[in-house]
Copies of this chain bind each other. A is one copy, B any other.
Amino acid sequence: MKKKYFSPPCGQVRLTGGFWKQYQQLIREKTMPYQWEVLNDRVEGVEKSGAVENFKIAAGESKQRYYGTCFQDSDVGKWLECVAYLLASQPDAEWETRADDVIALLGRAQQNDGYLNTYFTVAEPGNRFTNIRECDELYCFGHLAEAAVAYAQSTGKKEMLQIICRYADLICRIFGTGDEQIPACDGHPESELAFVRLYEATGEQKYLEQAGFELHIRGAEPYYYDIEWERRGQKSFHPHLQNEKPSDDKGYDQSLCSPQNLRAPVGHAVKMGYLLAGMAAYCQYVDDPTMWEACQRVFESIRKEQVYITGAVGSTRHKEAFTAPYHLPNDRAYAETCASAALIFAMRRMLNNDPNAAYADMMECTLYNGLLAGISHNGTRFFYVNPLESYPNEIAVDPDYQAVKPVRQPWFACACCPPNLARTVADIGEYLYTVQGTQVYVQLYAASEASFALENGLKIKLHQFTDYPWNGDVRLEADCVGEYSLFLRWPEWCERVSLRIDGQEISIENRPSAGYLPLGKHSGKMTVEYKMHMEACFMEAAPAVRADAGKVAIQRGPVVYCAEECDNGPQLFRLAVDPQSSILIEEKACFGAPVLKVLNAWREGQDGGNLYRRYQPISQAVSVRLVPYCLWGNRNPEGRAGEMTVWLRRREK
């Protein structure tokens, strides 16, 4: 199998402590078990899921009625994938048995021809593949397939992979350019990536080819989404699509052109992210320079114009979409948790084509901020939408904030985000390294022990000791009997690093353009002491971003901070900070994370008086306390909302 770079899977990169271990344990001990209860409809007072029951109905083992959206199956897929990653790092017979039971249930729900989708088996039999634009059949397939690959990799058990390959084979027969085939792909990208993963797991060339077919057919003429829409009587499945003619909004599902011709991200942000991940994954194995150039163009537009400082994407709730360059409202941000996950997947796949630290910088930013904001500190409450400022009083009265929840929710009718976040965090080990030949790129810093084979078959051990992201010091112990070359990512947030190899100070000047410090060839043991000087600093947005004009955000290392009402009182918008102020660090002050304190700040304006009056420069000196954005909304009494803002007005002293 030809490949460019690979990432050692999470079973070979175990977290040993610190930030990510803590989050992975949260997923293991709280989130994953909680989601299991929810998927089985056993949690009182939360949105019903029906996801497991639907499989029982499809298997003929339940008389209940189908429940939920048409893509309910994907929640089961994501949960299984999460379990797979957790088992990879820590065996657990009880959960493995539960997962095996679910897999067996999937097998019984599978139709004779391999078809496996509960919605169209139970609720709309006979309508399979009649609305591939909207009904997410291949999207659901993709999530099940990703789980099957992960489960096989973690446990060595192939049952689910066999089930899914039967379904995949059916899809390969039904979708294609042959006379009797459907010449189109799913409206929701996901199976592109999944087919590449099936190829990685099985070596079956046809799966890679199917991914290629899906990637090249999107947007092709005649426009199949219109054809099927005509056939089904010009109806939309989803009411919010209002029976629109699909070609009236080809951007929505990135079908305005062939993906190779995309110039920028467009449409539904999760779809865009999954598509980008699929495009990049495909390029790992197929030499398709125009596809790879499209990946780079889309990435560059996201990075330079269309991403929040938290690494989140998707500026509007309307069709959950990208909008236009520099349109990044903070209060009405959509910034879906799933879109963050999708961007992270895409970045890892782009790194597997080309270890450019820009991809890792974005991956890191989105992981620490946009993604993790989606989960509560207790692991059982979730954000779907992740605004960068939240004013509960306004959210309550202005329907333009209807998508924004001021507190994390126990579950959702459309529950894509919680299990997506969980599976991403469970798999975090896989994000640490990118390898080619005997070259190892360190993409993320996290206390961890890795042991994996280089392409020459020799095993390398990599042991990271660090309190990253709260501290920029990393000690890395490497060991391999043969020769190896390490490349340390120099994060974009970091202005200065220092380095010792085996106790020897190495002089370092500027950040290399690709963003990695090459340590040269070594063999045997080696100890690297890498210090990324980390200070809290004031960030600004490009001047074209109206929402951030006159404002600064505070960042320390990869972690974006925010101000909350519980620390700073209400009306956070009255605060202004001096961007020359010193910033104090209170170590371990918020769930183990450092809290920052901007010393020179003001609370502006005078209460009372007329609504409009002559300006008077009245303010009170204050300091502003900041916590990591990913931890916001965790310190109010259950269900109580508080204000939050990432961006603060600046005011020169």
Contact = CB atoms under 8 A, between A and B. Distances in A.
A264 to B, nearest CB: 12
A527 B283 CA distance: 88
A539 B398 contact: no
Contact of A327 (B305, B323, B394): B394
Given A329-B398, A398-B315, A398-B327, A615 B650 contact: yes
Contacts of A610: 303-304, 492, 542
A327 B397 contact: yes
B546 A394 contact: yes
Contacts of A478: none
A108 to B, nearest CB: 42
Contact of A539 (B397, B606, B615): B615
A616 B538 CA distance: 9
Of residues A400, A537, A539, A615, which shows the largest number of chain B Cβ atoms within 10 Å of its Cβ? A615
Contacts of A546: 391, 394, 571, 573
Contact of A649 (B398, B550, B652): B550
A621 interface: no
Given A400-B318, A649-B550, A579 B543 contact: no
Given A316-B399, A400-B332, A650-B615, A574 B543 contact: yes
Contact of A605 (B398, B537, B542, B553): B542
A652 B651 contact: yes
Contact of A611 (B397, B545, B652): B545
Contact of A614 (B303, B538, B542): B538
A552 interface: yes
A350 interface: no
Of residues A304, A324, A394, A543, which shows the largest number of chain B Cβ atoms within 10 Å of its Cβ? A543
Contacts of A542: 605, 607, 609-613
Given A394-B327, A550-B576, A610-B304, A540 B605 contact: yes
* Among all A-B residue pairs, the 6 with the closest Cβ atoms: A543-B605, A540-B615, A318-B399, A549-B573, A538-B615, A324-B397
B571 A615 contact: no
A498 interface: no
A644 to B, nearest CB: 13
A393 interface: yes
A227 interface: no
Contacts of A650: 615
Contacts of A613: 539-540, 542
A307 interface: yes
20 contacts: A307-B611, A309-B611, A309-B612, A316-B397, A318-B398, A318-B400, A324-B394, A327-B398, A332-B400, A394-B546, A537-B614, A539-B614, A539-B615, A540-B612, A540-B614, A543-B606, A546-B573, A549-B574, A549-B604, A550-B576
Interface string A614-643: 111100000000000000000000000000
Contacts of A318: 398-400
Interface string A378-422: 000000000000010110111110000000000000000000000
A398 B316 contact: yes
Contacts of A649: 549-550
A589 interface: no
Given A549-B605, A615-B650, 9 more contacts: A316-B397, A316-B398, A318-B398, A329-B398, A391-B546, A492-B610, A538-B614, A651-B651, A651-B652
A59 interface: no
A452 B354 CA distance: 86
A545 B606 CA distance: 12
Nearest to A538: B615
Contacts of A576: 550
A123 interface: no
A394 to B, nearest CB: 6
A398 B400 CA distance: 11
A544 interface: yes
Of residues A309, A539, A573, A607, which shows the largest number of chain B Cβ atoms within 10 Å of its Cβ? A573
Given A549-B573, A550-B649, A617-B652, A304 B611 contact: yes
Interface in A83-139: none
Contacts of A609: 542
A539 B612 contact: yes
Interface string A529-566: 00000000111111111100110110000000000000
A389 to B, nearest CB: 9
A614 B542 CA distance: 10
Nearest to A306: B611
Nearest to A548: B612
Contacts of A329: 398
Nearest to A303: B611
B616 A397 contact: no
B574 A541 contact: no
Nearest to A318: B399
